[in-house]
A and B are shown apart, each in its own frame.
Chain A
C-alpha cells in the first residue's frame, strides 16, 4: 500500500457501490416511495415528528400535509398566510439545521429553547421568516435572509394546539384505540374546542385497527383521520407516562405547578430531560384557566404544558 494516495485507498474501503446499496430495498419499495413522496403536498415543509417503530403511523405524511396544504388564498388572507399556519419550524442557527415541532407560536423562541436544550448555551438573537416555500425558517439576526423572505413573528397557536391535542397520548387519539366513529366524534369535539368551525372530518382507508393520527388541512378545513395504529401494548414507556399524566389533566393547576407535577411523573418512571429521554416545553398562556398537558412521541417523548403563569 506504500505510496498509494490515501483517498484511493479510502475509495476501496467503501462498504457498497450505489447499485449494491439500491438493491437493499426492493424495486417495489423504490416505486412505492416515489408514489408516496409525489403524493405529498409540495412547496411546504413540515417535517417529521419523530415517531416510533411500534406505531407505524403516518405522522410524517400528516405533518407534511398539515403544513403543506394551506394554499387557499382566501383562507391565507383571513388567517395571515399559509406559513403562519404551519406547526413546525426550521432552525438554521450557527451551521446547525433542525426542524422542530412548534409549541409557543413564537418560532424564534421555540428555536432558542431547542438550541439551549441541544447545546447548553443561549442562542444568539433570532428572527423568524416566511421562507416563501410555505414554511417558517429561523435564522440568527446577523444572517441575511434570502430574497423574498419576510419576517414572520408568530404562528397560529390554535392550530398548533389542535395538532398536539390530536397527537396526544394522554387524552388524544393515541390515548387508546379509537375506531373510526369514535375518532371522528373526538376530532369534532377538538375542532370545536379550539374554535375551528365549519371543518369536516374524513376517514381514509388504512391498515391498522386504531386511528392514531389526523392530517389537519387548514386550506380545505378538513381533518383526515387514518387508521394505521395498532392496539396499545403494555409496558411501553410513553403509555406508562401518559397513564401517570392523565390524573393531572383532571385537576386545575397553574403552569409552574403543572410543570412540576409533570417532571415528577416523568422522574418516577426514570425519565430525565438531561438524559434526553423526554423534552418538556412550558408555554405560558394567560387565556387558559388551568394548565393543559400534551404528550406526543417521536424519537423521544415530547411533553408540552400550556397554562397560566403562577
Chain B
C-alpha cells in the first residue's frame, strides 16, 4: 500500500514538474490578479491529484488539465473570488518583479480591439490555439467535445474575428487555411 502511494506521488510529481509552467501560463495569461491566478493553479493541480488515477494519460493529459483550469477559472468568475489555503500558499510566494514582466499586450491594435469584442467562448477557443498551442484533437479533449464540433466552432470563431477586423487588416480569402481551421 505504501509503495503504491509512493509510486502515485512519484508519477504525479513528474507530471507536476512538466505541466506546472504551462498551467501557470494558462492562468496568468487570462487572469491579472496574482492571487486569483494562484487559486486557479492550485485548484487545478488539486483536481489532478484527486483524479490522477482516472484522468487521461499521455498526450491527452495536458489539454485535459487546461480543461480543468478553464472550469476552475469559470467557477471563479461565477462565484466571485475564492481564497483557499492551497492558493493562498502559492500566492504568498508571489514575486512582484517577475509579475511586472508579465504585461498586457502593448499593441493597441485593431486586432486587440476585435479580439476583446468576441464572446468569452470564442476568445477562449482562439486563445487555446494561439497561446497554449493546442491542436484540434487537443482542443476536443480540453473542451470535452468532439473534433467535428471543435472544427465548426473554430471556423466560426475565426470568421467572427475576421469580421470584427477592418477589411485591410488580414488576408480574408484566397489564402491557405491554417492547420487549426
Contact = CB atoms under 8 A, between A and B. Distances in A.
A-B interface, 3 closest residue pairs, ranked by CB to CB distance from nearest: A29-B93, A60-B84, A18-B25
B63 to A, nearest CB: 15
If over half of B's interface residues share one DSSP class (helix, strand or loop), that class is named, otherwise mixed; here it is helix
Contact of A133 (B50, B82, B83, B127): B50
B102 interface: yes
Number of contact residues on A: which range applies?
A: 35 or more
A193 B60 CA distance: 48
Interface of B: 8-9, 12-13, 16, 20-22, 24-25, 27-29, 34-35, 37-38, 41-43, 45-47, 49-54, 71, 74-75, 78-95, 98-99, 101-105, 107, 109, 111-112, 115, 126-127, 129-131, 158, 161-162, 165, 168-171, 175, 178, 180
7 contacts: A15-B102, A20-B98, A50-B80, A59-B85, A64-B46, A132-B54, A228-B85
Contact of A6 (B87, B111, B127): B111
Contact of A15 (B21, B28, B38): B28
Given A4-B170, A21-B28, A133 B21 contact: no
Nearest to B46: A37
Given A1-B111, A56-B85, A60-B46, 10 more contacts: A9-B111, A19-B21, A22-B20, A30-B20, A37-B16, A40-B50, A52-B83, A60-B86, A68-B50, A97-B75
A24 interface: yes
A124 interface: no
A40 B24 contact: no
A98 B78 CA distance: 9
Contacts of A133: 50-51, 54
Interface string A4-27: 111111111111111111111110
Given A13-B105, A16-B29, A118-B78, A38 B13 contact: yes
B130 A48 contact: no
Contacts of B109: 1, 9
A300 interface: yes
Contacts of A50: 79-84
A133 B48 CA distance: 12
Given A61-B85, A64-B50, A33 B90 contact: yes
Contacts of A51: 82-84
A34 interface: yes
Interface in A43-66: 43-45, 47-48, 50-53, 56-61, 64
A24 B28 contact: yes
Interface of A: 1-26, 28-30, 32-34, 36-38, 40-45, 47-48, 50-53, 56-61, 64, 68, 97-99, 118, 132-133, 228, 276, 298-300
Given A3-B171, A29-B93, A32-B89, A40 B49 contact: yes
A21 B78 contact: no
Contact of B29 (A4, A14, A38): A14
Contact of A20 (B90, B101, B112, B131): B101
A41 B8 CA distance: 12
Nearest to A29: B93
Contacts of A14: 29, 105, 130-131
B82 A43 contact: no
B169 A1 contact: yes
B82 A48 contact: yes
B52 A42 contact: yes
A36 B129 contact: no
A3 to B, nearest CB: 5
A109 B43 CA distance: 26
B7 to A, nearest CB: 12
